[in-house]
Structure 1
Amino acid sequence: MPARWLALLLLGVASVPAAATIPGLDAPAEEQAADNSPEPGSIDVEQTSGQDERIAVRLDEIFAAVPSLAEVRARVSEGVVTLEGVAPDQAAVDRAEAIAAGVDGVVTVENGIERDVSIDVGESIGGLESRVKDLLRVLPLAGFALLVALLIGAFGYLLASFTGFWRRVAPNGFLAELMIGAIKGVFVIIGIVIALDMIGAGALMGAVLGGAGVIGLALGFAMRDTVENYVASLMLSLRQPFRANDHVIIDTHEGRVIRLTSRATVLMTLDGNHLRIPNSMVFKAVILNFTRNPQRRFEFVLGVDADDDAEAARKLGKKTLAQMPFVLDDPAPEVRITEVGDSNVVLQFLGWIDQGETNWFKAKTHAIALAKEALEDAGFALPEPIYRLRFDQRTASLPFENVGEVKGERDGAPTPTPAPSPKKPKRTAVEADVSTDDEIARMVEKERASDGEQEKDLLDSGRPVE
């Protein structure tokens, strides 16, 4: 017998810590509600008189002290607790079950609590009234916070209104506009943050800033090409790679520059059409600018007969180029023998002009004509390609007397000699019109002078070209 009572005492001591932690709700309600079954050997064989009543009274007192469990009642029979009533949510239902399971002497819990899904109009109106009163109490502070935000934003707009100062600080007008817009935006954001902090809406402020960051990141990915193009516009406005009316080749596009806008570079092609190239492509492309260096070289090739003196033709061609008044002496003109073909020797003519005084296309045109006439007048032949003809066996076996018919000769009549072509009038280099008059350049200037277009141009003639 003593051994039996000792074993029961040890089991009771071992079960005390687990029960002691329940009333304080130290463990999560879900874990307590999930394990309500008694441990082996923890149920007494004999029950103390009046124990069920004491458990019921104790649970009713506890539930009455908890606002969310005020409508819950407990019935106890032989240590089995049956909970009845309503609770506002599932968490309160689980909490009531955990409290009942933690009372000493409870064998198990039957949870019959229902969730309260009814609408209490009076309580809702009372809650709304309470919120309105809270709002009225916070209105003076909110108004003062709004006034502070407006003052900070107004100071930012006042600071940004000194456009002359920012235009002097910034390298160009485009960057100045960006700085002015950034100053306005920064001061407005600072004003909003300070106002929210004054009314104690720090959590709302963090949520707004976090949401703005996420939205900005999403927009950045969605508008990646647009942002890249905008950044390229800024870099091009700082670098100034060309001037208005410059003759350029951008990647594979050739024309004269009309303007540089915040989105694209506008060219006028050599056939008079508008060409818009996105600035992101312009910034990464290879740009060939023909206008930056006033000296420009033209070149062309002519061929002389293979039996002629190629060196004499070369010297004559060089002398002819040097006598042209629009060809510069420094760098000096040059003629090179570049190739010996099947029927001719190819000469490459090289000459330099000043683009400020001479039109490149006109100079090349007249130089070709004058060089060709000089070679022909000196007796050099400019042969055409020679083709070899092969006749089949039937043509080769014709009688000798029929050969004339093959050649177009009949009855021994001589082949008619073609009439000599009239002699071309000799021209001189002095008569060549190589003026710089360029219709495309005039069209570009007219386009730039049109109303409203100058304001959109990011090209600044006051800054050096990089």
Structure 2
Amino acid sequence: MERIPRLFAHALAALLACALLLAGAAVHAQDNGTQPEGPISVDGDAGTDAAIAQRMRDILEELGGFEDVTVTVRSGVVTLRGETAETADVAELSALAARVDGVVQVRNEVQATSDVVRRLDPALDRLYARLNQMVGALPLFLVALAVFLGILFLGLAIARMRQPWDRLAPNSFISDIYRQIARLVFLIAALVIALDIMGATALLSTILGAAGIIGLAIGFAVRDTVENFIASIMLSFRQPFRPNDVVQIEGQEMGKVIRLTSRATILLSFDGNHIRIPNSTVFKSRMTNFTRNPERRFLFEIGVASDADLDKIRNLATEVVEGLPFTLANPAPLVWIDRIGDGAIFLTVTGWIDQRETSLPRAKGEALRLVKDAIEAAGVEVPDTTYRIQMIQPQAAAPHPAGPPEAEGPPDVTADVEDALDRIIEDERGDEAKPDLLSEDAPEE
């Protein structure tokens, strides 16, 4: 147990020795860096030494704070001894003595005092000086503060106005961004003018530099949020869809547009589910808008027996589709032989509708039903590609009626299901508590 105090004492002594060596090295470095240069005169005498010593004493007395420093000069070598209140004064003495004419060498043996009271006196003096400066600059500071607050309040009042921001912006989201920019511009202007009144414009570069570094760090930290925010602004300016438009994002999510918010695009799927997609994904992804063009094509394929007259069947399918009341004459329906499959030859049948008046799924289903009936009425088999084994009794084949079946009146292909979805979307958009960035006045892409 006695070894512990001894080890502690040795360690403390080693630390003190290192500190003394470092201090000595620092003083030596200061002396080496502040020694006089040039040739040494041979005319030095006691009168010159006395003049140098008196000149140094007069300078130190005028500066003040060096009452405990003594100056001796022999053969042009100045020796300084004593204590100072601050460490910086030690180097200052060496530089000062080296500038006196006739000085050959400077020996600076002055040390910073260890007296706490004396060390605090310069700091208190500086504090009092700063307080006096503040009191003297207080009227100017109050003027600058009044100008700063006046400009800032003016900017806030202008930003709260409805015009011209609502007239310049396509929606409330963009108008709020304009208001934030206006507030920031007035804040910077108020700060610059206030600092200029106080004569401290150099401080502005420091503030802006620190703000830039902080903003850069925050930008990297919330990169996804910033990206989504910028995407929201771009979608607000150039709206690629309108409410109730049927869109597909990246070939996956499909539904009708409910609203565009500052963070996401809200869709209503055909199953009645809400789909929320971040605006950054919507902006970067491939998007298909099925509503922008009112004319839309339906397509299906149908198989016929391999021994059928394909040219006759193709013309028959074209005639049936052209005769439907909901198909458009331009673009005209088109039927072509697509491929040969297992036990059948498949034809592709297409037609165009005005989807503002006709439901695409119902139009496609009705056209498929009528084309199939017409082909079977012409005595051509529409084979089932599923293999089945069925034991049946032989019986006479029922004769096929000649020609296509008579129409039972115009088929109902109105968009009843889509109308129901439109009513849901209308109720959703009627909620004023939920923001929406879509506007009829905004330009379309």
Equivalent residue, structure 1, for 2:131: 132
Moved more, 66-75 or 288-297: 66-75
Cα shift at 1:274: 2.1
Larger Rg: 1
Q: Which amino acid aligns with 2:271?
A: D
Equivalent residue, structure 1, for 2:82: 85
Counterparts of 1:82 and 1:124, CA distance in 2 = 28
Equivalent residue, structure 2, for 1:251: 250
Q: Is the 8 A contact 1:324 1:429 kept in 2?
A: no
Q: Is the 8 A contact 2:302 2:347 kept in 1?
A: yes
Q: Which amino acid aligns with 1:177?
A: D
Equivalent residue, structure 2, for 1:60: 57
Describe the shift of the 1:153–1:43 C-alpha distance in structure 2 as closer, same or farther (beyond 3 A).
Answer: closer
Q: Which amino acid aligns with 1:282?
A: V
Describe the shift of the 1:54–1:173 C-alpha distance in structure 2 as closer, same or farther (beyond 3 A).
Answer: closer
Cα shift at 1:205: 2.7
Q: Is the 8 A contact 2:170 2:441 kept in 1?
A: no
Equivalent residue, structure 2, for 1:300: 300
1:231-310 maps to which residues of 2 (within 5 A)? 231-252=230-251, 253-310=253-310
Counterparts of 1:47 and 1:188, CA distance in 2 = 67
SS at match of 1:163: coil
Q: Is the 8 A contact 1:324 1:430 kept in 2?
A: no
1:113 pairs with one of 106, 110, 115 = 110
SS at match of 1:84: strand
SS at match of 1:382: coil
Q: Deviations over 1:38-77 (max 9, x none)?
A: 88x9486x97456655544443333323335454222345
Cα shift at 1:301: 0.3
Equivalent residue, structure 2, for 1:170: 169
Cα shift at 1:445: 2.2
Equivalent residue, structure 2, for 1:354: 354
Q: Is the 8 A contact 2:303 2:347 kept in 1?
A: yes
Q: Deviations over 1:100-151 (max 9, x none)?
A: 4455665543321112453445665554444334323322222222221222
Cα shift at 1:304: 0.7
Counterparts of 1:386 and 1:159, CA distance in 2 = 74
Counterparts of 1:284 and 1:32, CA distance in 2 = 68
- TM-score, with length taken from structure 2: 0.79
Counterparts of 1:324 and 1:99, CA distance in 2 = 109
Cα shift at 1:211: 2.1
Q: Deviations over 1:235-257 (max 9, x none)?
A: 22222221101001222221111
Q: Deviations over 1:373-392 (max 9, x none)?
A: 322232212234499xxxxx
Equivalent residue, structure 1, for 2:12: none
Equivalent residue, structure 2, for 1:417: 392
Q: Is the 8 A contact 2:34 2:94 kept in 1?
A: no
Q: Is the 8 A contact 1:33 1:94 kept in 2?
A: no
Counterparts of 2:82 and 2:249, CA distance in 1 = 82
1:447 pairs with one of 423, 428, 433 = 428
Counterparts of 1:104 and 1:185, CA distance in 2 = 59
Q: Deviations over 1:240-285 (max 9, x none)?
A: 2211010012222211111111222221222322222222332333
Q: Is the 8 A contact 1:38 1:108 kept in 2?
A: no
Cα shift at 1:355: 1.3
Q: Is the 8 A contact 1:33 1:98 kept in 2?
A: no
For the aligned residue pairs, the C-alpha RMSD in angstroms reads 3.4
Counterparts of 2:117 and 2:324, CA distance in 1 = 104
Moved more, 192-201 or 161-170: 161-170
Q: Is the 8 A contact 1:197 1:205 kept in 2?
A: no
Cα shift at 1:462: 3.2
Q: Which amino acid aligns with 1:203?
A: A
Equivalent residue, structure 2, for 1:199: 198
Describe the shift of the 1:460–1:337 C-alpha distance in structure 2 as closer, same or farther (beyond 3 A).
Answer: same
SS at match of 1:112: strand
Cα shift at 1:436: 1.1
Equivalent residue, structure 2, for 1:180: 179
Cα shift at 1:341: 3.3
- TM-score, with length taken from structure 1: 0.75
Counterparts of 1:133 and 1:38, CA distance in 2 = 42
Q: Is the 8 A contact 1:85 1:113 kept in 2?
A: yes
Q: Is the 8 A contact 2:170 2:439 kept in 1?
A: no
Equivalent residue, structure 2, for 1:190: 189
Q: Is the 8 A contact 2:69 2:82 kept in 1?
A: yes
Does residue 235 of structure 2 align to residue 230 of structure 1?
no
Does residue 69 of structure 2 align to residue 72 of structure 1?
yes
Counterparts of 1:125 and 1:100, CA distance in 2 = 28
Q: Is the 8 A contact 2:34 2:95 kept in 1?
A: no
Runs (5+) with no aligned partner, structure 2: 1-27, 399-404
Counterparts of 1:272 and 1:232, CA distance in 2 = 27
Counterparts of 2:273 and 2:392, CA distance in 1 = 51
Counterparts of 1:102 and 1:52, CA distance in 2 = 15
Does residue 438 of structure 2 align to residue 459 of structure 1?
yes
Q: Which amino acid aligns with 2:92?
A: R
Counterparts of 2:391 and 2:35, CA distance in 1 = 129
SS at match of 1:320: helix
Cα shift at 1:344: 1.9
